[in-house]
Amino acid sequence: MNAPELTEDERLGLYLRRTATGAEWWRVSIADRPQTWRLEHGVQDGEVKGAVDIDLVVDAENLRAKLKKWHREGFVFEARDAGSTADAKQRVSFMPELQRATSAAAQQRANSVASAVQTVRIGHVDVPCGVPGPLVPRVNPAYLFSERFNDIVEDIVENKRVMLIGHTGAGKTSLIEQVAARAQHGVVRSNMNGQTTVGDFVGFWTVKGGATLWVDGVLPTAMREGLWLIVDEIDFAEPSILAALTAVLEPHGRLTLKEKGNEVVAPHPAFRLFATANAVGAMSQFRHLYQGANLMNEAFLDRWRVYLLDYLSPAEEADVLVRTLAPHMTPALAATLAAIAADCRAAFAREDLSSAFSTRRLLDWAELMLRTGDPERAAGPAIYAKVSPEDAALIRGIIRHHIAPAG
C-alpha cells in the first residue's frame, strides 16, 4: 500500500515505530527556508525520550520519498504535532497579516496628516509645516534625501525621540536641519561636548536690576515654543542633564523645574527632541576615536529610536558634490572624488587610517580644488593638516592612485 499524498500541513508531526525496548521516531517540522522541512530522528527507550541523533533539512521531493520509506518500514503517523502545526500556520500567516496591519496604519497616518493645516512632502513622507521664523534653518538645495531617511522622517512626524549615531560628518545634524528647513520648524542646538551646564540646559535664577528672575534653559524654551531641540554629542552630557532629559523622553513627557518651585513645563505639539552621538550603541566599537565619550546605559537608549547613519554611498556622494558645487563640478570629477572618499573610509575601517573621512571634508576639499585647480594643494588645508603625518601619507597615496599628476 502506498503512503497517501498529504498536504503540506498534514505531513507535519511525529512518525513512530514501536521496537522491542521502546520506540523509534521521526519528527517533521517546517524549516527556515521556504519549501523545506526539518527531519529529526530519535530512539526512545522505555519511558525515556531519547535524544535527537539525526537532524536534517529536506525539500518537498525528498520529504515525499522519506514518508514512503517510513511507511514501508512500519512507521505510523502518531500525532499531529500541535506545536509545530500551529507554529507553521502562524509562521505562514504572519507576513500577510503584518502587511494588512501596516497598510491600515499608513492609511490612518495619512488621514491624520491630511487633516493638519499644511504639509510638505519629504522623501515618501508628508511632514506638517510649522511657521517661518529666524530659527528655521536655511534650505540647502543640494541636500540629498536618501531612501534610507524615510523611516527617520516618519518618526519625526510621529513625535518619536530620534537619536542619530554615526561618524563625524556623516550627515546627522544636517538631516534634522534640512527636514526642519523644508517644513519650517525652528531648530536649537545644544552641544554637550563643551561648556553646557545643567543651568544652560534647564534654566537658572539671576539678579537683574535688583530683581531675581528665572531664565529658562534651552530645554524648557524649546518645549514651550515648539522648537526642535538637537542635543549634539549626547554621549558627553553630564548625568544631571541626562536626568532632566529622561523625563521628557516619554511621549508627551513633561519637565519639572525643581529649582523653580516644581513648575511643570508641558511640551508644545510641535516640540521635537533629537540627539546625535558618535560612539554610542552600535558605534561603541569606535569609542577610542571619540575620547571622553560616555557609555550610555541601555535603559536610556531604549527611550530613543536610534538610527545608525552611515556615510552616503559613492553614487549619492558624487551626486551631492555635483549639486553642491554646480555648475563647475562635473559628474566625472565627482565620481573620482567620491571613490577617493570611499577608499579612505575602507582604509579607516581596516584601521590603516586613524581618521574618518567625512562628507564635510570631501566637499571642502572639492571646493578648494575647484579654486586652486590643484588637488594636492587643496588637500593641504582641507585634509593633510587635520590628520597625522602617517595618515596624510596614506591619503596622498590613495589620491595618487585615482588622479594621475598633470602632464
Ligand X SMILES: Nc1ncnc2c1ncn2[C@@H]1O[C@H](COP(=O)(O)OP(=O)(O)OP(=O)(O)O)[C@@H](O)[C@H]1O
Which residues bind to ligand X, rule: CB under 6 A? 142-144, 166, 168-174, 276, 278, 312, 320, 359-360, 363
Which three cell numbers, joined as nine digits, stand for 161?
A: 525621540
Residue 253 CB burial class (10 angstroms; 0-12, 13-18, ≥19): middle
Closer residue to Mg ion, CB minimum distance, 173 or 294: 173
Which CB atom, from 23 or from 363, has the smaller least distance to ligand X?
A: 363
Is-contact 387 399, C-beta < 8 A?
Answer: no
* Residues 6+ away with beta carbon under 8 Å from 207: 213
Q: Tell me the C-alpha distance between 379 and 319, whole Å.
A: 21
Q: Which is nearer to ligand X, 88 or 289 (CB)?
A: 289
The nearest distance, CB 57 to Mg ion, in angstroms, is 48
User: Which three cell numbers mark 159?
Assistant: 513625535
The answer to whether the beta carbons of residues 344 and 357 sit under 8 Å apart is yes
Rounded to a whole number of angstroms, the minimum distance from the CB of residue 144 to ligand X is 4
Q: Which is nearer to Mg ion, 279 or 347 (CB)?
A: 279
Smallest separation (angstroms) from Mg ion to the CB of 262: 34
Q: Give 320 or 398: the residue with its C-beta nearer to Mg ion.
A: 320
CB of 143 to ligand X, least distance (A): 4
| Closest approach of ligand X to the CB of residue 361, in Å | 9
Instruction: Locate 286 and state its grid cell.
Output: 569606535
State which of residues 140, 173, 191, 256 lies at the interface with Mg ion (CB under 5 A).
173
Select the binding partner of residue 242 from ligand X, Mg ion, none (C-beta < 5 to 8 A, by kind). Answer: none
Instruction: Indicate the residue whose CB is closest to ligand X.
Output: 171
Cell numbers at 210, concatenated: 535688583
Distance CA 35, CA 13 (A): 16
Q: Which partner from the list Mg ion, ligand X, none does 143 bind, CB cut-off 5 to 8 Å by kind?
A: ligand X
Q: Which is nearer to ligand X, 173 or 336 (CB)?
A: 173
What beta strand segments (E) does 209-289 contain? Answer: 211-216, 228-232, 255-257, 263-265, 272-277
Stretch that binds Mg ion, among 96-104, 165-173, 178-186, 260-268 (CB under 5 A): 165-173
Query: Is 387:357 a contact under the CB 8 Å cutoff?
Result: no
Nearest to Mg ion of 173, 221 (CB atom):
173
Q: Does 256 bind Mg ion (CB under 5 A)?
A: no
C-alpha cell at 33: 527556508
Please enumerate in sequence order all residues whose Cβ is within 8 A of that of 25, keeping only pairs 6 or more positions apart, or say none: 14, 15, 16, 17, 41, 42, 43, 44, 75, 78
Task: Give the binding range for Mg ion (CB under 5 A) out of 69-77, 103-111, 141-149, 170-178.
Answer: 170-178
Under the rule (CB under 5 A), what is the footprint of Mg ion?
172-173
